[in-house]
Amino acid sequence: ELAAKEALALIGANGVSLGRGALVLNDVADLADAFQVAAALSLEGFAGNLSIIHPGTARLQPQIGLNTAASRLRDLLDGSFLWEPGAARNLQDPLSFRCVPRTHGALYDALAYARSTLEAELNAANDNPLVLVEDEELVSNGNFHGQPLAFALDALAMAVSELASISERRVERLVNPNLSDGLPAFLTADGGLNSGFMIPQYVAAALVSENKVLCHPASVDSIPTSGNKEDFVSMGMAAALKLRTILGHVSAILAIELVAASQAIDLLAPLRTGPLAQRALERVRRMSPALDREG
């Protein structure tokens, strides 16, 4: 049975926002790593220029996330045919490929900010009034306000949505014969009646556009309650709820890039992928076979 104030702890906005936010944060961390895998496969399928992950360029940019992303991409692409002289299609690829360490690194930085905020809240006392046992005082306060959470969750929503938007741009580059530098139209060798990856790109584009609407920050809104005693609220719960919706869209967009990039790699066979990228490709193929004439 619930004791005094336990029900409030379960339904109060700060506690629920924090709980939802912590679960979502874990999912975003997984997605951030999955974005790295998808980008590595897309670089292989597009025959991208790997100068973007040269250790020297990362050292000159002291962003922690950028260096994390570049290091992980080097691991994923170690042993790839793309390291051979002349393997890359372009000296300078489109920004959705060329700026992968920078853009993906920004998500790692946003994750670090959100994680530090949520960890502080998970270890904080947010009740009102607060009982200061050692001081033998009962203190009325505002530690329950969810503004730090709302800011962090809104930032995470924008960061992960932007990564999905860049992911969709890479898919477009792979499927569009005017942009793919030699890959067959819509990644099918049997064009005409077979529309290949045309519709998956539509889906990714639609979800990206929906995310842009959802990314309007909840934390800039407020509405008074409690007879105007609570005259400025954080809207942290709204931030947590819409972030969960955004993550569902982002997961679908990421899945589309993974299967599109895998299809592009198959079309480039027998060119050699890196061992880690090959393992990722095999995982994709266990769930989604290559598109063929009946696909």
* Confidence tier at 295 by pLDDT (50, 70, 90): very low
Nearest CA to 149 out of 32, 11, 14 is that of: 14
Looking at the chain, the whole-number percentage of residues with pLDDT higher than 90 is 72
**So what's the pLDDT on residue 241?**
93
Compute the half-sphere exposure of residue 9: CA atoms within 13 Å on the CB side of its CA.
9
**So what's the pLDDT on residue 271?**
85
DSSP state of 289: P
Q: Judge whether residue 76 has pLDDT over 80.
A: yes
Contact between 171 and 257 under an 8 Å Cβ cutoff? The reply is yes
Q: What is the pLDDT of residues 98-118, one digit of tens each?
A: 999 999 999 999 999 999 999
Give the mean pLDDT of the chain.
92
In the numeric block, which tokens belong to residue 220? 């800039």
In this structure, of 49-63, 200-214, 235-249, the range with the lowest mean pLDDT score is 49-63
Which distant-in-sequence residues (6+ apart) come within 8 Å of 241 by Cβ? 20
Q: What is the pLDDT of residues 149-203, one digit of tens each?
A: 999 999 999 999 999 999 999 999 999 999 888 899 999 987 777 888 999 999 9
* Confidence tier at 8 by pLDDT (50, 70, 90): confident
**So what's the pLDDT on residue 10?**
78
Contact between 209 and 122 under an 8 Å Cβ cutoff? The reply is no
Residues in the chain: 295
Contact between 172 and 187 under an 8 Å Cβ cutoff? The reply is no
**So what's the pLDDT on residue 293?**
52
Q: Judge whether residue 59 has pLDDT over 90.
A: no
Which distant-in-sequence residues (6+ apart) come within 8 Å of 10 by Cβ? 2, 16
In the numeric block, which tokens belong to residue 107? 């998500």
Average pLDDT over residues 207-216: 97
Contact between 156 and 139 under an 8 Å Cβ cutoff? The reply is no
Which distant-in-sequence residues (6+ apart) come within 8 Å of 277 by Cβ? 37, 40, 41, 44, 76, 77, 80
Q: Report d(CA 231, CA 24) in Å as an integer.
A: 28
Contact between 142 and 135 under an 8 Å Cβ cutoff? The reply is no
Which is higher by pLDDT, 205 or 196?
Answer: 205
In the numeric block, which tokens belong to residue 148? 């730090």
State in Å, rounded, how far the first CA of the chain is from the last one.
56
In this structure, of 10-24, 27-41, 162-176, 265-279, the range with the lowest mean pLDDT score is 10-24
Burial degree of 32 (CB within 10 A; 0-12, 13-18, 19+) = buried
**So what's the pLDDT on residue 113?**
97
Strand partners of residue 131: 138
**So what's the pLDDT on residue 276?**
94
